[in-house]
Structure 1
Amino acid sequence: MTHISIEATDLSVRFKHRLLFHIPQLKLEPQDAIYLTGDNGVGKTTLLKVLAGLQKPTTGKLNTQQHWLNRLFGGCYQNGIIYMHQTPYMFDGTVFDNVCYGLKYIVRDRQQRRNEAINALRMVGLETLADEHVSVLSGGERQRVAMARAWVLKPSVLLMDESSASMDKESISRQVVLAKDLLERGSSLVITSHQHNELTALCRRQWTINDTKLIERADLQLVKQDKDSKNNYAYA
């Protein structure tokens, strides 16, 4: 795995006469876990797509370069960056085929590809569905497949756009296991979510887009709002 940083200066996106956001400076370091928040329509998804190289900013420049495996999975794998959409694209085929799709470009040995894909499916609890067509999957199961598909590629940066929105608690917990593994390997994560959960609890930095500006808060500390609550998280 190649560890990379993303740096940007004077980053802005404008739609016609509307300024979505302007960010003078932005930096994402290896092993960063960032919770990206903001109201609907402020540009969270747009910012992730800019970081992934899927959308060009109006002004500014990133320090990443275009690479060969671009726009993969309805997202992006370039220079070690993967963008996971809220409604992940599934190729017409089996669950196993979907997880293996990116591996065929970077792992030559077929048996090794199979072992890695099955291991990823086992970790998200879908190994028994490996030979099923993706059409039988629920929304949460599709997100599990998308996470397994990203994890096997060991990205340097994983951009997760509302990836836990259609998931139950067990599915989120399985997603967290893979996210933690990537962090331990040196990957960085940027996570958007409208709800606090186990996944957002991994974050120790927060970016909030508000009034076209990106406000950063570092060293987030997880606290329980209620001692008797098992699912209620807040940051202080």
Structure 2
Amino acid sequence: MSALIQLKGVDLRFGPVQALRAVDLRIAPGERVALVGANGSGKSTLLRVLHGLLPPAAGSVLRDGARRQAMVFQRPYMLRTSAMNNVALALWLRGTRWRQAREQALAALARVGLAEAALRSARALSGGQQQRLALARAWSLRPDVLLLDEPTSSLDPQGKREVEALMAQFAADGMTLVFASHNLGQVKRLATRVVYLEQGRVLADLPVHDFFNGPRLAQTSGEAELFIRGELA
């Protein structure tokens, strides 16, 4: 199966900090890939490289130019306008006529259960509602690949369940998901594959069952075991 995104030998530095080290990664259509690892392991940086927001210092990033992608950040930015306009503006910037953009925005809000909040200020919504609004904004662009950076980290249990349900629905509709998460229960529920990072290196890339139940790759350090047991932040 052809890759949607492929990284080959990608390095990235922020000044003296080596953020990514010789990363090889291939994302195929229909996968649900979870990026896991302790704080500072490189998950968010890797997502930004996958989305084209950060150019690598070395190596290459290959994309299927016919496929669309979108990204939802850990704390998505809300424009100082209505929930509907937050979605419609994204569509308008992609070239959709404004009237049609508003119609599509309403459909996207209904898709995530926010139809009744369409005219409310986006910044007045709860954290869970804002995250669902960000998902509506991304979904409205009809991406083939959706990248998510800790999409439920700041939400209450109800908000987490709502966002996870939407991610599962998107995946069931054929969307490819790549998401960073510290929530190992979430990873088990949603992922088909786990990529474990440590100090910017990919140390394990396994099917989700094998990652949690089988022997991990020999080069993984003791940190991986501590992380999986929940003993490493």
TM-score of the aligned structures, taking structure 1 as reference length: 0.78
Task: Identify the range of structure 1 (48-57 vs 159-168) with the bigger mean alpha-carbon deviation.
Answer: 159-168
Residue 4 of structure 1, CA deviation: 6.1
Report sequence identity in percent.
31
Change (3 A) 1:22 1:93: same
The structure whose residues are more often helix, as a share, is 2
Change (3 A) 1:106 1:175: farther
Change (3 A) 1:200 1:159: farther
Residue 143 of structure 1, CA deviation: 0.9
Match among 213, 219, 226 for residue 201 of structure 2: 213
1:227 matched residue in structure 2: none
**Structure 1 residue ranges, 4+ long, deviating more than 6 angstroms after superposition:** none
1:1-236 matched pairs, under 5 angstroms: 5-64=4-63, 80-104=68-92, 105-108=94-97, 110-111=99-100, 113-198=101-186, 201-221=189-209
Q: Which runs of 5+ in 1 are unaligned?
A: 68-77, 223-233
Deviations for 1:33-55, whole angstroms, at most 9, x for unmatched residues? 11111111121111111111001
- Corresponding residue SS for 1:218: strand
Deviations for 1:110-163, whole angstroms, at most 9, x for unmatched residues? 35x444322322333322211011221222221111011111112111111011
Residues matched between the structures, number: 210
1:231 matched residue in structure 2: none
- Contact 1:12–1:22 (CA<8 Å) still a contact in 2? yes
2:220 matched residue in structure 1: none
Residue 176 of structure 1, CA deviation: 3.0
- Corresponding residue SS for 2:184: coil
- Contact 2:79–2:123 (CA<8 Å) still a contact in 1? no
- Corresponding residue SS for 1:87: coil
Distance 1:114 1:43 in 2: 37
- Contact 2:195–2:202 (CA<8 Å) still a contact in 1? yes
Q: Which runs of 5+ in 2 are unaligned?
A: 211-227
- Corresponding residue SS for 1:221: helix
- Corresponding residue SS for 1:63: strand
1:14 partner letter:
R
CA RMSD of aligned residues (A): 2.7
